[in-house]
Amino acid sequence: MTRPIALARPALALEDLAALHAVLASGQLVQATGVAAFEEALSKVLDGAHVAAVSSGTSALQVALLTLDAPPDAEVVVPAFTFPCVANVVWLAGLTPRLVDISLDDYGPAADEVLAAIGPQTAAVIWVHQLGNVPADAAVLEQIARRVPLIEDAACSLGTRIGGRASGTIGRLGCTSFHPRKIITTGEGGAVFSHDAALIERVRSLRNHGQAPGDTGWLRFERPGLNARLGELNAAIGRSQLASLGYFLEKRRRLGRRYVEQLAQVAGVTVPSAYREGRTNFQGLAVLLDPAIDRDAVIQGLGARGVEATLGGYSIPHQPAYVQRFGPPGDRYPNATRAFRHALALPLHPGLDDADVDAVVAALREVLS
């Protein structure tokens, strides 16, 4: 290995630095015209959906849940395998996370599990497009959305389309993240979006302490809200990054396809079908190791060879806070449990080249041999 290969790295350029300089020179750092311009640019990527930028992907989910006005005994269906913030925001909103198992085809929720979990107490379903992977078609999301409010967590799936539609635009609300590991970054940041303009106006109020949007006189606070605004510096980076979105997506997909081709020949490794079928933007690449393989030992072995790798995600019911509240998961979530123990995330970002992919696969072969 000639140089260390990072798991993820934001693709920043001089244009991003110039955008920051322009904001600093203006002296306007709090949400203003730059954030509005970023929202307008995002709308074009999201099939014309109305957009409200917020301070993080987690804030996006939190504000989306607040629009529900759900009673405190309501449930929100969430996948058992994802980043814990998805269930945490439900819990912190005073609602109950109803965990469902996932599909190992794409690490997203298992459709039959979601549909079976919907009942009289269901306030919403949060469908996570895990690692940028999406369902084969939009039918299952449309079916859910006809029954209950659907919130799409598209934090990883910017640029992925489902049946010709932008991910995150099928449900009541979509949420995304601009964390440095995502397709584009604002440093920290996120957005909520919908084709319902009135709903996004409510989100804009909730992100800004409950202030009436567009209020130019004495401030009026129509509802309890949060400080979940995106700053002008963050928005400036985001607008600059969006100009390179097409390149980022093309580079990730090209590298991802190279990985898929080579990993198919590695014993003990399964590449989920979403990657093989191209139902992804390759925000992340997580393969499944055979159960007999010690995934954590593989991570250590790759690290010793200069390749940064990590687990593919988290099983929420195995986290201490959830065990304490809901009890041990037992065998209720077999796919989430397997993914938590055996999914391996490999380096994938626009800073890599073909030789890096070849080196990662060669190192993995060596560790597994």
Residue 61 and residue 137 share a domain: yes
Residue 218 and residue 110 share a domain: yes
Tens digits of per-residue pLDDT, 216-241?
A: 667 788 899 999 999 999 999 999 99
Last residue of a domain, one of 182, 211, 242: 242
Residue 268 and residue 251 share a domain: yes
Strands 165-166 and 173-177: unpaired
Query: What contacts 24+ positions apart, CB below 8 Å, involve 114-122?
Result: 114/77, 114/140, 114/144, 115/143, 115/144, 117/77, 118/77, 118/144, 118/147, 118/148, 119/75, 121/73, 121/74, 121/75, 121/96, 122/74, 122/75, 122/76, 122/77, 122/98, 122/148
Tens digits of per-residue pLDDT, 163-179?
A: 999 999 999 999 999 99
Residue 325 and residue 224 share a domain: no
In a domain, 2, yes or no: no
In a domain, 3, yes or no: no
345 pLDDT higher than 60: yes
Residue 312 and residue 207 share a domain: no
135 pLDDT higher than 60: yes
Last residue of a domain, one of 242, 271, 297: 242
pLDDT (mean) for 102-110: 98
CATH of the domain at 48: 3.40.640.10
In a domain, 127, yes or no: yes
Provide the pLDDT for residue 73: 85
Provide the pLDDT for residue 217: 65
| Rounded Cα gap, residues 175 and 22, in angstroms | 28
Structure tokens given for 263: 């990993």
Going 107 to 157 to 282 to 309, the CA torsion angle's sign is: negative
In a domain, 6, yes or no: no
Containing structural domain, residue 339? 245-368
Contact 230, 35 (CB under 8 A): yes
366 pLDDT higher than 90: yes
In a domain, 9, yes or no: no
Going 231 to 234 to 239 to 242, the CA torsion angle's sign is: negative
Residue 238 and residue 256 share a domain: no
Residue 146 and residue 35 share a domain: yes
Tens digits of per-residue pLDDT, 119-134?
A: 999 999 999 999 999 9
pLDDT (mean) for 81-109: 98
Residue 268 and residue 154 share a domain: no
2 pLDDT higher than 80: no
CATH of the domain at 343: 3.90.1150.10
Mean pLDDT of the chain: 96
Provide the pLDDT for residue 63: 98
Residue 189 and residue 145 share a domain: yes
In a domain, 353, yes or no: yes
Last residue of a domain, one of 242, 270, 294: 242
Provide the pLDDT for residue 212: 84
Provide the pLDDT for residue 215: 64
| Residue 291, burial from CB neighbour count under 10 angstroms (0-12, 13-18, 19+) | exposed
Percentage above 70 pLDDT, the chain = 98
Residue 71 and residue 112 share a domain: yes
In a domain, 5, yes or no: no
Residue 276 and residue 189 share a domain: no
3 state DSSP class of 132: helix
Provide the pLDDT for residue 216: 63
In a domain, 85, yes or no: yes
Provide the pLDDT for residue 85: 98
Residue 364 and residue 332 share a domain: yes
Provide the pLDDT for residue 359: 97
Contact 153, 127 (CB under 8 A): yes
Separation of CA 220 from chain center: 33
Tens digits of per-residue pLDDT, 206-217?
A: 999 999 876 666
1 pLDDT higher than 60: no
152 pLDDT higher than 70: yes
- How many distinct structural domains can be found in the chain? 2
